[in-house]
Chain A
C-alpha cells in the first residue's frame, strides 16, 4: 500500500495498517499534517462545523507532562518444538513407566509374604505341596515347622531347599512352581504291586 492508501485506511479503520507506517506517521511532520487535514475534511464533509482547537498550545502543554510509561504484562508465547526437549520428556516418561511396571510385579508378592499371617502361610505351604507332589505325605521329606517352613534334612539338594522355603519367598520365580518341580514316580502303584 502507498502512504496515501495507508493513511486513508488507518484513519477510517479500514484494512491492516503497517506498524512501520504508524511509526513513520508519528515521526514524519508532513504525514502528521496530512493526518490532521484528512480528519478536518472528514468532519466537515459529515456536516460538522469547525471547532477551534489550538494544537500547538496542546503540544506545548503535553511536553510539560511527565511521560506515561505503562508496564505491560508479558504475554506467554508458545515455545517452538525442540527435539531434544521432546526426547528428554519421553525418556522421563519411559523411566517412570518402567518403575511402575517393576513395582507392580514385585511389590505385591513382597507385600503378601510380609503381611500374611502364620495361618495363611501354612495354607500356602499345604497348597504348594499338594500341587508339587499330591501323592507325597506332608511329612514325607522333612517336617513342617510352626512358621510353615519345612525343615530341610542335611544333604538335601538346592531344589529341595527352595521348595522348603517357598512359603517365605517373595519371588514368583523362586517359588519353584514351574522351575523347581518335585520329580514324581509316574509308575502306577497298582501295576508295580502286580
Chain B
C-alpha cells in the first residue's frame, strides 16, 4: 500500500461517514499543511486558525473529492484558498504572483517541508529544545533501530531497500522503525505534551 493508497483508504472511510478516518488524515497532514500556509500567514495563532478552517472546509467538500488527484494536492488547494480568503477578509495583501508560483511549486517539492520558525522567541526556543531532545534520543537508540530510522527518515529509502541494506526481513524493518519512533516519542512527551492535551 502506497501513501496514496493509505490516503485513499482513509478518504473512502471518511466519505462513508466515518469522521475518525478524517481525523487520521488531519493528523497525517496537519504539520505539512501548516508549514505551507505559514508562507502566507505569519502569525502563529492566525496560522492555526487558518489551518483548522482549511481542514473543516476540506471535510465539507469531501463529497466532491473523486480521487483524481492526490489527497494532499486537493487539500493544498483548499488550504491556499482558505489562507488567501483570510488575508483578503482582513484587508491584507496577498503575496505576488512570483511568490504564489513558488508556493505552488512547494506543494509537490521537498521545499514544502523546510523547517520554518514561526518568528516568536518562544517557538524558536521550543524548536531548539525539541531538536536537542531528538538528537539525544537518536544517540541512545540501539544501532539497529538508529540505522533503520535514519535510512527511512533521512535517506528516504523504502522498507524493501532498508531490508536489503540491513540484511533482514521487511517485517523486522517495520518493527524497528516503529520502535525507534516510539522511543523518540517517549523522550518528547514531556516537551510536546504528547498524549495529554496535545497542541502539536
Contact = CB atoms under 8 A, between A and B. Distances in A.
Q: Do A and B bind each other?
A: yes
Interface of A: 1-2, 4-17, 19, 22, 25-27, 32-59, 61-63, 65, 67-70, 72
A48 B3 CA distance: 19
A63 B171 contact: no
Contact of A47 (B28, B38, B115, B175): B115
A56 B159 contact: no
B197 A45 contact: no
B195 to A, nearest CB: 6
B78 interface: no
B184 A41 contact: yes
Which bucket holds chain B's interface residue count? 35 or more
A68 B63 contact: yes
B1 A9 contact: yes
B144 interface: no
A52 B46 CA distance: 11
Contacts of A59: 23
User: Which of A48, A49, A58 gathers the greatest number of chain B CB atoms within 10 Å?
Assistant: A49
8 contacts: A13-B5, A14-B158, A36-B198, A42-B181, A43-B32, A44-B131, A44-B184, A53-B199
A19 B115 CA distance: 34
Contacts of A14: 1, 158-160, 174
A22 B35 contact: no
B24 A7 contact: no
Contact of B62 (A34, A39, A68): A68
A52 B199 contact: yes
B177 A12 contact: yes
B147 interface: no
Nearest to B183: A41
B134 A44 contact: yes
B2 interface: yes
B185 A50 contact: no
Interface stretch (B11-19, B79-87, B88-96, B101-109): B11-19
Interface in B15-74: 15-24, 26-28, 30-32, 34-35, 38, 44, 47-48, 51-52, 55-56, 59-60, 62-63
B27 A35 contact: yes
A38 B63 contact: no
Contacts of B160: 14
B30 A1 contact: no
User: Which of A16, A41, A56 gathers the greatest number of chain B CB atoms within 10 Å?
Assistant: A41
Given A13-B2, A52-B48, A44 B178 contact: no
Given A12-B177, A33-B195, A41-B184, A57 B52 contact: yes
B200 A50 contact: yes
